[in-house]
Amino acid sequence: MMNFISLLHPFSLEIGLAIIILGLFFLDLFSVQAKKNIGSWAWGLTFLLLLIHLSNWKHFVSALSSTYVHDALSFLLSVFFLITLLFILAMSKSYRHRFERGHSEFYMLILLASLGMITLASTTDFLLLFVSLELITVSFYVMNTYLRTDPKSIEAGLKYLVLGALSSGFLLYGISFIYGLSGSTHFSDIARYASSPEANAKVLLFGFLLVMVGVGFKMGSVPFHFWIPDVYEGAPTPATAFLSVGSKAAGFFILIRLTNIFFPHFQNAWVLLFTLLSAITLIYGNLGAIPQKNIKRFLGYSSIGHAGYLLMGFAAGSTQGLHAVLYYLFSYLFTNLCAFWVVILFSKATESDEIADYAGLSKRSPFLAATLFIALMSLAGVPPLAGFFGKFLLIRAVVEKNLIWLAVLGALNVVVSLYYYLMIVKKMYIDEPQNPETIPLDPSSKIGLSIAIAGIIGLGIFQAPLLQWIESAVKSIL
């Protein structure tokens, strides 16, 4: 039955998500009872969609003159986005008291952004890529401004709007160069043009660099990172968490698809570009995180640092590099969402995002403190956890390409990051709390956090299944 539905239509996932969005609109309009539980509805339906999608395993098609493909890679990426979506929907529930109005609309915006991410996962055409990116960005414009009486949230929304529009402009300009040269927006046509003798490599490279501005904005790599600290601090925390995982991953996924087209034709420029970007991003993110006082700003800088690690995989430019990037993103998904969830639960009880207020958290809520401890250690890359194996794969990929200095820089940054992550751990475990009240936790958040922890530890210990899956996915696009 399940497979029958998917055979009927190659777009079952996208249409399913669209139906959920529109259905929730109607529920919200007509049923007062459902309006209160719209978050649970959204979560349940998305979970059902994930199950149906997983049952379609190995059912790959391409549609619309192959501008839209369901290959092993897009399957992997859509599962990534669906898991992210489930986490974000669940954690938004703990944050809804902060919204004076529009509770259900926030869930719909999250779903709309995810729809953009899921179409992005399967696109092999610049036109659809741009439209999907716009869907993501427009939803985030609104989500970032959602606390509209809070000046910080307005600042976050405005900064994201202005810089997002600018980067979209660059992206579009780059696409127009590539289109003008090759006469097509389709990735395979562009690849064919790039390997033909008449190809103008210089202009193609210029177009690619402009595209990289738009993608770099999404990834939050250094010359395009200026929005990150302010937006991460001002936006509602679930939106920040979504930005740091979903939107960032979207940028890296685009780059994975583009690697095939562009990497073979200007390897030297590619390697130079990504080693430099990676090195600057690593240093900036990790040094910037040290003096931060606000936990969301802190995680913002740390996310810049992680973009630096991820770029190492592209600097290597090898299949091993791509495997490492994908593995790292999966470990980053569980780790970062776990950290942000703790931030949400903590701010729900204390109305504070200041790092100073985390003092003595282990006495106020041992569970939250332990969870944040594991998440931070995984972010830093401490051995049995997922973050370690991701970093290990990335550094190995870089060493294989003889970029020893980049590997050393990456390792040094692990030490720096360990320092600032441990500062927070010290606050939580050694310092005395100013307010010894215990922090209440609802059972659903406990379950969610436990799943995230299970993901962090599971990916750290049993790497093989995910790694095999990633290898087969990367093979499908080569």
Binding test (CB under 8 A) with another protein, winner from 148, 265, 363, 396: 148
Considering the complex, what minimum distance in angstroms separates the CB of residue 229 from another protein? 16
Q: Please state whether 65 falls in left (phi above 0), alpha (psi between -120 and 50) or beta.
A: left
Q: Which stretch of DSSP H or E encloses residue 405?
A: helix 404-429
**Which of 141, 469 has the CB closer to another protein?**
141
Considering the complex, what minimum distance in angstroms separates the CB of residue 105 from another protein? 5
Q: Please state whether 60 falls in left (phi above 0), alpha (psi between -120 and 50) or beta.
A: beta
The size of the chain, in residues, is 478
Binding test (CB under 8 A) with another protein, winner from 5, 37, 47, 141: 141
Considering the complex, what minimum distance in angstroms separates the CB of residue 52 from another protein? 20
**Which of 195, 402 has the CB closer to another protein?**
195
**Which of 184, 350 has the CB closer to another protein?**
184
Considering the complex, what minimum distance in angstroms separates the CB of residue 428 from another protein? 36
- Name which of residues 155 to 214 contact another protein (CB under 8 A): 177, 179-181, 183-184, 200, 202-203, 206
Separation between Cα atoms, residue 187 and residue 184, nearest integer Å: 8
Residues in contact with another protein, counted by CB under 8 A, come to a total of 42
Considering the complex, what minimum distance in angstroms separates the CB of residue 106 from another protein? 9
Q: Is 65 in the site for another protein (CB under 8 A)?
A: yes
Candidates 38-46, 59-67, 79-87, 245-253 — which segment interacts with another protein by CB under 8 A?
A: 59-67
**Which of 117, 333 has the CB closer to another protein?**
117
Do the beta carbons of residue 137 and residue 166 sit within 8 Å?
Answer: no
Do the beta carbons of residue 369 and residue 445 sit within 8 Å?
Answer: no
Considering the complex, what minimum distance in angstroms separates the CB of residue 139 from another protein? 5
Do the beta carbons of residue 150 and residue 127 sit within 8 Å?
Answer: no
DSSP letters, 129-190, are: HHHHHHHHHHHHHHHHT-STTSHHHHHHHHHHHHHHHHHHHHHHHHHHHHHHHHS--BHHHH
Considering the complex, what minimum distance in angstroms separates the CB of residue 339 from another protein? 27
**Which of 64, 430 has the CB closer to another protein?**
64
Tally the C-alpha atoms within 13 A of residue 401's C-alpha that lie toward its C-beta: 25
- Name which of residues 396 to 455 contact another protein (CB under 8 A): none
- Name which of residues 5 to 34 contact another protein (CB under 8 A): 18, 21
**Which of 142, 342 has the CB closer to another protein?**
142
- Name which of residues 81 to 140 contact another protein (CB under 8 A): 100-102, 105, 108-109, 112-113, 115-116, 119, 125, 127-128, 130-132, 134-135, 138-139
**Which of 32, 478 has the CB closer to another protein?**
32
Candidates 60-68, 340-348, 447-455, 466-474 — which segment interacts with another protein by CB under 8 A?
A: 60-68
- Name which of residues 261 to 320 contact another protein (CB under 8 A): none
Binding test (CB under 8 A) with another protein, winner from 12, 46, 67, 445: 67
Q: Which stretch of DSSP H or E encloses residue 63?
A: strand 62-63
Do the beta carbons of residue 129 and residue 254 sit within 8 Å?
Answer: yes
Q: Which stretch of DSSP H or E encloses residue 40?
A: helix 38-55
C-alpha torsion angle, residues 197, 199, 200, 205 (rounded to 10): -120
**Which of 134, 431 has the CB closer to another protein?**
134
Nearest to 174 by CA among 219, 147, 209, 217: 209
* Residues 437, 440, 441: CA angle, nearest 5 degrees: 150
Separation between Cα atoms, residue 473 and residue 329, nearest integer Å: 14
**Which of 172, 439 has the CB closer to another protein?**
172
Structure-token pair, residue 420: 């600032």
Considering the complex, what minimum distance in angstroms separates the CB of residue 198 from another protein? 9
First to last CA, the chain: 33
Distances in whole angstroms, Cα of residue 105 to Cα of each of 42, 64, 127, 376: 11, 32, 28, 32
Positions in the binding site for another protein (CB under 8 A): 18, 21, 64-65, 67-68, 100-102, 105, 108-109, 112-113, 115-116, 119, 125, 127-128, 130-132, 134-135, 138-139, 141-142, 145-146, 148, 177, 179-181, 183-184, 200, 202-203, 206
